[in-house]
């Protein structure tokens, strides 16, 4: 009988996600199987700085009849098709196992730039800093609202992620209740803080800096890495080196550093398959009305679905839906590929 030593780069294993307290199945040997699916090349990209049909471009009319101002950098407005409304009445139903509770909220859209054809990776650093400052002011304003318990800031990019408009923009959904994923991360971070007297992500980033193999890019204030427990093939987490409950206390240097790490990360994504990489990006911050926040270490997740080309994506189906998340390419391999890419955007390179 042959003695076999566990080698995480070759053998199936499970990895623990301490933020969500759940497990991910990693099957690196599966990346060796031949790919028989179709590989398509994406259609050529049309570039126009202004689109008369776009409801986010400056001066254009939105559905509902309101006109956008002739904005010069960013523009925030209440979503015309909000998933939540401010004036939903309080109420709950309780009928045995059938329970419900009303939910109030505020949904906003943030245009990142007046330019229809730019992306976060292609915007100039001062313009990305402006987006960071809008995130700060929106978080501050909405968190202070008496009805709001949590402010979720996010961006869906690309048709694959359900984004209906290529104009660079993000969203905010501010809700009365603290949503499920944030509640779980609150509980895991609190338990770690109570047991160790430091933040979970502070300890995690220190361990990742020592290991170095999953870091994509780091500057003085932020570390971008593929988490040890990542589920999406090229998932990235951006973690500030300084633990803070939310982004309202960022220094000017930290705002600039956040713009820098965002630009370099998104540019690497776009360069990976020479396409505008679809993703969902979102910030996790302490709930708005929470008094005890010492355990909170705000951070940013990016979940992109692409696996091996501009059109071949990872599906969360079968085993993932029935049992637990699973991945083939290891987080170390994904980080190495992203790390080795240029952080000059491919659309800039051809100009
Ligand atoms: Zn537009
Ligand atoms: Zn999180």
Residue 27 has pLDDT above 90, yes or no: no
pLDDT at 82: 85
Tallying the residues shown for the chain, one arrives at 351
The distance of Cα 98 from the centroid of its chain, to the nearest Å, equals 33
Residue 345: which pLDDT band, with cuts at 50, 70 and 90?
very high
Active site residue 13: no
State residue 160's pLDDT score: 81
pLDDT confidence of residue 149: 97
163 φ, ψ (degrees, to nearest 5): -80, 125
Distance 61 CA to ligand 1 centre (A): 11
Query: What was the pLDDT predicted at 29?
Result: 79
Q: How far is the centre of ligand 1, averaged over its atoms, from the C-alpha of 6 (Å)?
A: 52
Question: To 5 degrees, how large is the angle CA 178–CA 182–CA 184?
Answer: 110
Rounded to the nearest whole angstrom, what is the distance from the C-alpha of residue 19 to the centroid of ligand 2? Answer: 7
Distance from the alpha carbon of residue 105 to the mean position of ligand 1, in angstroms: 26
Cα-to-centroid distance, 72 and ligand 1 (Å): 13
CA distance 218 to 104: 38
55 alpha carbon, closest ligand: 1
The ligand minimizing its distance to the Cα of 48 is: 1
* Residue 37 scores a pLDDT above 60: no
Å from CA of 284 to ligand 2 middle: 5
Q: Which ligand is nearest to the CA of 114?
A: 1
Nearest-angstrom CA–CA distance, 310 and 159: 12
The residue-averaged pLDDT of 155-176 equals: 90
- 230 contacts 331 by C-beta, under 8 angstroms: yes
The residues whose Cβ lies within 5 A of ligand 2, an ion, are 185, 284
Note the pLDDT tens digit of each residue in 63-93.
888 999 999 999 999 998 888 888 888 888 8
CA neighbor of 212 nearest in space, from 127, 339, 83: 339
Which of the residues 116, 167, 169, 301 is marked catalytic?
169
Residue 289 has pLDDT above 70, yes or no: yes
Work out the burial of residue 121: count CB atoms within 10 Å of its CB; fewer than 13 is exposed, 13-18 middle, 19 or more buried. Answer: buried
């Amino acid at each position: 009988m042959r003695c076999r030593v566990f080698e995480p780069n070759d053998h199936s294993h499970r990895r623990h996600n301490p933020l969500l307290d759940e497990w991910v199945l990693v099957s690196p040997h599966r990346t060796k199987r031949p790919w028989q699916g179709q590989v398509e090349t994406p259609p050529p990209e049309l570039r126009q700085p202004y689109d008369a049909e776009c409801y986010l471009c400056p001066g254009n009319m939105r559905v509902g009849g309101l006109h956008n101002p002739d904005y010069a950098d960013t523009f925030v407005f209440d979503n015309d098709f909000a998933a939540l409304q401010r004036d939903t009445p309080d109420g709950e139903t309780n009928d045995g196992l059938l329970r419900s509770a009303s939910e109030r909220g505020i949904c906003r859209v943030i245009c990142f730039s007046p330019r229809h054809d730019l992306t976060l990776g292609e915007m100039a650093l001062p313009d990305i800093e402006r987006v960071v400052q809008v995130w700060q002011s929106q978080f501050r304003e909405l968190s202070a609202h008496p009805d709001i318990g949590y402010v979720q800031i996010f961006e869906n990019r690309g048709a694959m992620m359900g984004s209906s408009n290529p104009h660079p923009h993000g969203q905010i959904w501010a809700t009365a209740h603290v949503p499920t994923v944030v509640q779980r991360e609150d509980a895991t971070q609190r338990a770690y803080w109570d047991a160790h007297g430091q933040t979970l992500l502070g300890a995690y980033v220190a361990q990742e800096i020592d290991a170095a193999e999953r870091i994509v890019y780091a500057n003085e204030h932020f570390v971008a890495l593929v988490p040890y427990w990542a589920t999406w093939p090229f998932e990235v987490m951006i973690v500030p080196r300084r633990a803070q409950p939310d982004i309202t206390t960022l220094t000017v240097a930290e705002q600039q550093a956040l713009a820098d790490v965002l630009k370099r990360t998104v540019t690497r994504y776009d360069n990976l398959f020479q396409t505008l990489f679809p993703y969902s990006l979102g910030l996790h911050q302490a709930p708005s009305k929470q008094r005890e926040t010492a355990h909170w270490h705000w951070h940013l997740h990016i979940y992109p679905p692409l696996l091996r080309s501009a059109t071949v994506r990872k599906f969360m189906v079968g085993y993932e839906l029935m049992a637990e998340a699973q991945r083939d390419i290891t987080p170390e391999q994904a980080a190495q590929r992203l790390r080795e890419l240029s952080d000059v955007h491919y659309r800039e390179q051809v100009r």
